């Protein structure tokens, strides 16, 4: 039984918790496949990596579908799919990683830690891109550093997506929505 989860939200711990909840409820309702319809401007790095590893841990195939825009860390979530599809006219955006800060003061050691952490997150992002695109030969570091838009055709040629097709609910038994 195919269940569809609709994730049309920024990536943060609240929306990723909703994603986890929806997937676990789908499994509890007998899902043998989960379709993840995704359109997101990205968001928090930690939440994106968490979602990726959670989706990879599921005991059923996860089909991801870029409905319109999959940007920044949302790309990592998309890459968790065992089958990855793109709508015609959809796009991906890869750009330099960033953090938001909640306080305005930090010592030299803390700033150095943040830089090392961002560098490590960049390595993790690139490692996932390389693993999931089967080392397509794409210079992902360059794509990220130069804020690259990748359309449906390019996504297929560089291994981000497996095919282009319109998203459908055909054959989906149940729909689950992530609240933003």
pLDDT of residue 105: 76
User: Mean pLDDT, the chain, as a whole number?
Assistant: 94
pLDDT tens for 163-172 read 999 999 988 9
Phi-psi region of 4 (alpha: psi -120 to 50; beta: other; left: phi over 0): beta
pLDDT of residue 54: 98
pLDDT of residue 115: 84
- Total Cβ atoms within 10 A of residue 49: 19
- Total Cβ atoms within 10 A of residue 135: 10
CATH of domain 2-177: 3.90.226.10
User: What end-to-end distance do the CA atoms of the chain give, in Å?
Assistant: 26
For the segment 152-159, the average pLDDT, to the nearest whole number, is: 96
Chain length of the chain = 180
Q: Where are the domains of the chain?
A: 2-177
Compute the distance between CA of residue 80 and CA of residue 56 in angstroms, rounded to an integer: 6
Eight-class DSSP state of 11:
B
38-42, 99-103, 154-158: lowest mean pLDDT where? 99-103
pLDDT of residue 136: 79
For the segment 26-44, the average pLDDT, to the nearest whole number, is: 97
The answer for residues whose C-beta is within 8 angstroms of residue 163's C-beta and 6 or more apart is 85, 86, 156
Compute and round to an integer the Cα radius of gyration of the chain: 16
Whether the per-residue pLDDT at 139 is higher than 80: the answer is: yes
Q: What are the φ and ψ backbone dihedral angles of 150, each rounded to 5 degrees?
A: -125, 115
pLDDT of residue 99: 75
pLDDT tens for 67-123 read 999 999 999 999 999 999 999 999 999 999 887 666 667 788 888 888 898 889 999
For the segment 13-27, the average pLDDT, to the nearest whole number, is: 98
- Percent of the chain residues topping a pLDDT of 90: 81
Provide the total of helices (H) and of strands (E) in the chain, helices listed first. 6, 8
More reliable by pLDDT, 114 or 142: 142
């Amino acid at each position: 039984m195919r269940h569809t989860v609709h994730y049309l939200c920024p990536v943060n711990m609240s929306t990723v918790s909703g994603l986890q909840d929806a997937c676990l409820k789908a499994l509890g309702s007998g899902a043998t496949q989960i379709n993840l319809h995704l359109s997101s401007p990205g968001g928090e790095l930690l939440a994106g990596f968490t979602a990726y590893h959670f989706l990879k841990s599921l005991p059923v195939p996860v089909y991801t579908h870029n409905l319109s825009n999959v940007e920044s860390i949302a790309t990592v979530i998309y890459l968790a799919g065992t089958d990855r599809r793109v709508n015609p006219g959809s796009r991906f955006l890869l750009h330099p990683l960033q953090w938001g800060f909640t306080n305005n003061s930090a010592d030299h050691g803390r700033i150095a830690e943040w830089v090392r952490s961002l560098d490590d997150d960049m390595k993790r992002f690139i490692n996932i891109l390389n693993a999931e695109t089967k080392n397509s030969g794409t210079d992902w570091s360059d794509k990220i550093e130069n804020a690259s838009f990748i359309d449906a055709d390019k996504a297929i040629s560089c291994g981000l997506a497996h095919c282009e097709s319109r998203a459908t609910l055909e054959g989906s038994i149940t729909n689950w929505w992530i609240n933003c």
